[in-house]
Structure formats: structure tokens, C-alpha cells
Amino acid sequence: MIEKFSVSFHKGDIDKLKLKLDLTEFPDELTNTKTHYRLNYHKGLIEKWKKFNFKNFESKLNDFDNFYFHFNNNIKVHFILKKSSTKDSKVLLLIHGWPGSYLEYGKVINPLNELGYTVVVPSLIGFGFSSIPTERGYNIEKNAIILNSLMLELGFKEYYAQAGDWGSYVVRTLGHRYPENCTAVHINFLMPNNLNKIIRNNKSKKHLLSNLSDLDKIGLSKLDNFAKKGRAYFKIQAEKPERLSFALSDSPSGLIGWIGDTTMGASRFRVTEDDLIENATLYWLTRTIASSIRLYSEERYVQYPEPGFVKVPSGITIFPDEMAYIPLSWAKEYLNVVSYSYAKKGGHFPQLEYPEIYIAEIHNFFSKFGGKPASKI
């Protein structure tokens, strides 16, 4: 069942957030270290958050039509739907990751719609306005199952899907499990399913470690650095999510510091402070920081989830400031790659950093395929 609703935050929750921001206690800081997220920057964010216009934010969220999809009577999936007036519009599913949310697509929905796409942007389970699970099992695969059910419920028997971060794994799972529905995929984040396994087996897969371009070598160098120095947040969220949850659920300063450090580091501070504060506000007022980081715990038994080979046409765009990426020869181990490109600029959140480049990349890929009729809902 599909249910339309309007976003409305409780005044008491907003007042409590304002009070907690006023009572913020800051940590000390070393002066002789090089960290990208500094205390003075954080203090500035808190001061800016104190002046945040919650009514304007609420109104902005309602500029798009918001819906719930009721799945199996106990799970609600939030999504926004922007239908195209084009007769044979392409149906495009856009999926966020962490520490993002559906808000990261706010700058690209209308431009994509004007290009003839009917756009569907859901919140993953445990994120935003979607349900907070009370039991284990809502991993990447489960999210893919639910989102394919959503698309079928909307009348989209065939659709395209695009994502980065965790969303890219959902997209790959959709392309693998439901090729008759998810008929083409595009991702801007691709990590190896199991790097250690590839290295152990390199005697039989020498082609994966040879004949690499200079750009490939840069990507692998970043991958090595990320594996050694960039996964601390990943490990604690995967192994001890409750320890973080107690603190982040009680302190808005802690919450925006935790997601802000990751967001700004991954985007080289190209995500605006306004975008970061809006995202933090969504996490806080929906009380979903704890449930969102549990996605890492759901997937902790493998280094990265393995969706299986994706046979449908697949496109990949590498943004140069992405934290890591793998060569085309590796990508072909996982997907039927028909397009592999390097963008001129951008990082982990290209739809926020350079929306015009992001739109051009995915439109250049999906425009190669025929349009699909939009929903009549």
C-alpha cells in the first residue's frame, strides 16, 4: 500500500534540540596535528545550527511529494516521487548511503525530471522517515528486496538504478537479483568484494594486478590507504554500534561531528555547511543515527557484501577525489560493464558537490537505453 504524507516535526523535539545545542560542551584539541575537521570549524557549525530555520526546512522537504510504502504490514519505506510528463519517461531509482540520506539528491531531482526521468528516491530502512527495525536482518539484500517491491507496487515493471556508497551495493543487488525489473545500473562507487581474497589468488588472477593505467594505480593506492587508515569509523560501526549510539543519540554536537568529519573529508569540504546541517537535522529529528549505523553491523561478517555478478548493462563513473576505486579489469569481475568513465572533478558526494557533472554522467549512460512508461499512480 502507498500512503502520501507531509513532513511535520514536533515542536517539542525542535525545542529540545535547540536546548541541547545551547548546552554544548566542546572537547580540547591538539595544536600540532594535521586533521581536516578542526574544533573551530565544528564550533562554527554549532553556532550556525543554532540559527537554523526549522520551518523553512520542513517546507523544503514538502516541496517534493512524500510517500510511505507499507511492506509486509510492519515496515514503512519513505520515498519521494517526481513523475515526468514525458510520454515514455525513463524510471530512475536513486539510492543513498551513509552518512548520507535521501536529501543528497535534492539538487538533481528536478533537473533529471526535466530530462525526461521519473525519479524515485527512497530512504533505506533505518534512515530518515523509513521504519527503524527492532530486529536484525535489514541488510543490503533485504533493502534491495523491499525496494524492488516498492518499484513494482508503483507500477514500474522496468526501471534503472543509480547510487554511490552503500546504495551502490543495493543497486548491484537489484541488478543481480531482478534483471527483468532493474534493467540497467550505474554506480559512482565500487570497491572489491574481497581484496584479501583477490591478493591470495593473484597467481590465477595476474591480469587483475597487471597492465594497469596510471589512474588505476592511483585508485589502488587510495584503496590501500583507505584499508590501512580510513576504516576506523567502519570498524566501530560494524563491531560496536551500540557504543556510538549512546553518545550520538544524546548529543547533537557529537552527531554532526561524527557525520561531518566523514562527509567533509570524503568531499574535501565541497558539501556545503547548509547541506551538512540539514542532514544532521534529519538524523536528529527522526532519531535514526543509531539505526543507520547498524547497517554496518548487518554487513560485518564480510569485508564488503557480495551481491553476485550483475548481467544487466552497467555504467561506472570514477570521481577523482573518491576515497578509493578499482580498475576496470577488476570491475568486470562484478558487473557487465558497458561504460567506464572518469569525471573531471568531484568526490564521494558528486550529486552535492557538482550536481551538473553528476547529472551529465548518469544521463550520458542511461540515455543510451529506451524510455519506460511512468506510473499512473
Question: Choosing from 105, 165, 186, 233, which is the catalytic residue?
Answer: 165
Report whether 143 contacts 122 (CB < 8 A).
Answer: no
> Catalytic annotation on 176?
no
Helices (H), 107-158: 109-114, 140-153
> Catalytic annotation on 296?
yes
**Cα–Cα dist 54/179, whole Å:** 42
The three-point CA angle 217-221-226 to 5° equals 145
Question: Choosing from 159, 233, 296, 358, which is the catalytic residue?
Answer: 296
Pairing of strands 182-187, 159-163: parallel
Cβ neighbours of residue 356 closer than 8 Å, sequence gap 6 or more: 111
Residue 191 is which amino acid? Answer: M
**Cα–Cα dist 104/276, whole Å:** 10
**Cα–Cα dist 76/140, whole Å:** 16
117-138: b (≥16 Cβ within 10 Å) or e: bbbbbbbbbbbbbbbbbeeeeb
Question: Choosing from 42, 78, 96, 348, which is the catalytic residue?
Answer: 348
Handedness of CA 140, 359, 283, 7 (dihedral sign): negative
Cell of 3: 500512503
> Catalytic annotation on 348?
yes
The helix/strand/coil state of 213 is coil
- Report, as residue numbers or ranges, the catalytic residues: 165, 296, 348
